[in-house]
Amino acid sequence: MANLTIQEVDGGVAFAAKIVPGSSRTTVSGLLDGMVKIKISAVPEKGKANQCLIEFLAKQLGVKKNAISIISGQTNPVKSVQVLGISAETLLKKLDL
């Protein structure tokens, strides 16, 4: 299992995530090739999985939904996610990684 690659950005962090939509529940399921693997209960249509991902991360990390953005990979299972107002250390702790 590889370590998560986290980039410090102005006012927050950015990281890669591998999204598995259509799961029975939304949960972090560990690390995969330097990415956070997150299972999402929503289906990947009309942005539902992306919205579910943002809501889940906001709740897990204790930040507002507008502090989270998907930088790249809107229609791809591998996404680059940016979270403002949080440190790399806090990210790892809150996601239990």
For the chain, list the domains and their CATH numbers.
6-94 (3.30.1200.10)
Nearest to 52 by CA among 12, 16, 25, 83: 25
pTM of the model: 0.93
Which pLDDT value is given to residue 78? 97
> For residue 2, is pLDDT > 90?
no
Residue whose token pair is 């962090």: 13
* Phi and psi at residue 19, to the nearest 5°: -100, 135
> For residue 44, is pLDDT > 80?
yes
Q: What is the mean pLDDT of residues 42-47?
A: 93
Instruction: Using pLDDT thresholds of 50, 70 and 90, give the confidence band for residue 64.
Output: very high
